[in-house]
Amino acid sequence: MSGPKHIHAIINPSAGHGKAGKRWPEILAYLEAQGFVVTWRLTEGRWHAYHIAREYMEKGATLLISVGGEGVMNEILNGMLAARNKGTLPPLAMIPVGTGTDLSRTLRISKEYHEAVDIIKNGRVMLIDIGRIAFSLGNRIWTRYFINASDAGLGGAVARLTNTIPKVLGGFLTFLLSSLAALLSFKRMKLEIRVDGKFVDRGLMTIVGALNGQYFGGGMHAAPMAVVDDGVMEFMYVKDTNFFKFLAKVLARVYQGEHLAYHKVHVNRGKEMVIKGHKAFLVDVDGEVEKAKKIRVEVLPRAIGILVAKD
């Protein structure tokens, strides 16, 4: 970087059980010590980051920084895409300080902020895929984008529970305990799945996911084969399994990526997935929750630039 560089940061002060807000002053001081001129805002509630990102885009921001977890990054992504007709889409960087920081695991961006800032200063822009989801519920149709993962069924129930409890235990235990609690009361959903226009399966599903990154749910290595810039996603689902087998064969093994050996875990790679339900189901979108009766997930290849370490 030659000379001062102006960056725009959006911080979720509640991320990581308030850790992001507490650490922001020292992160800001370090960014300025590295020669950055920083414009920044703290979010004040749900979708605030979306509106801040749109505002920054309209003012010609050349680099946006997400400080927090995947939720604030998802809102920033959606705000950027909503304003993309205002000009060229700038790259996005992250300083991961949150409960869910799974994309940073795939991209090997450290949770130690000095190292994350070094990537902002000296890294390279990597173009990665994102997902676009079209939701349908009754007469309502709406769209949302995601950068790491989205899943229907159990994942939506876990995300809803995770967003209502304190994150004092950290990401791993928060998501693990939320998964166990949600699984105890979760009823499998009657869903139909199509991938790239072809019928795949229908029946009682526990979870159906679209993964761009390798990790989700606070460190679950759900898709070890996933590549973020290959133009396809890993469409995965678990069908016809009970509570005990899901616990033993999936949840207990997913952190090591060993769940794929279980024959009830199915994987399809593709560019589009459609899920239809007999009734409305919850959908997890980068840790945020939506509800729909039908969703269409579409891959947008190499749609956003992310700052990562140089090879």
Per-residue pLDDT, 156:
61
Inform me whether the pLDDT recorded for 22 exceeds 70: yes
Question: What is the average pLDDT score of the chain?
Answer: 89
Is residue 40's pLDDT more than 50?
yes
- Asked if residues 66 and 93 have their Cβ atoms less than 8 Å apart, the reply is yes
Q: What does each C-alpha distance from 173 to 117, 180, 269 come to in angstroms? A: 27, 10, 30
Tell me the pLDDT tens digit for each residue of 133-146.
999 999 999 999 99
pLDDT tens digits for 169-227? 455 566 566 666 666 666 788 999 999 999 999 999 999 999 999 998 888 899 999 99
Would you state the pLDDT for residue 159? 64
**Confidence at 256, pLDDT banded by 50, 70, 90:** very high
The answer to whether the CB of 288 falls within 8 A of the CB of 68 is no
Indicate whether 311 belongs to any domain: no
Whether residue 309 lies inside any domain: the answer is no
- Contact in structure between 95 and 66 (CB atoms under 8 Å): yes
Same domain, 293 and 152: yes
**Looking at residue 215, what is its pLDDT?**
94
Higher pLDDT, 271 or 71: 271
Residues 173, 24, single domain; the answer is no
Residues 172 and 49 in one domain: no
Same domain, 35 and 153: no
pLDDT of 275-308, one tens digit each? 999 999 999 999 888 999 999 999 999 999 999 9
Would residue 261 count as lying in a domain?
yes
The answer on 118 and 153 residing in a single domain is no
Please check whether residue 310 lies inside any domain of the structure: no
Q: How confident is the model at residue 83 (pLDDT cuts 50, 70, 90)?
A: confident
92: its two tokens: 């996005």
Helix-helix angle 48-58:70-82, to 10 degrees:
40
The residue count for the chain? 311
pLDDT, position 262: 96
Check whether residue 150 and residue 107 sit in a common domain.
no
- 98 and 151 in a single domain? The answer is no
Residue 190 or 153, more confident: 190
For the chain, give the percent of residues with pLDDT over 70. Answer: 87
Q: Where in the sequence is the domain holding 231, given as residue range(s)?
A: 130-301
pLDDT tens, 62-78? 999 999 988 899 999 99
Residue 1 has pLDDT above 50, yes or no: no
For position 80, which CATH number holds? 3.40.50.10330
The pLDDT of residue 198: 98
> CATH number of the domain that 140 lies in?
2.60.200.40
In a domain? residue 306: no
Task: Examine residue 216 and state whether it is found in any structural domain, yes or no.
Answer: yes
Site of tokens 């869910």: 100
Total domains in the fold of the chain: 2
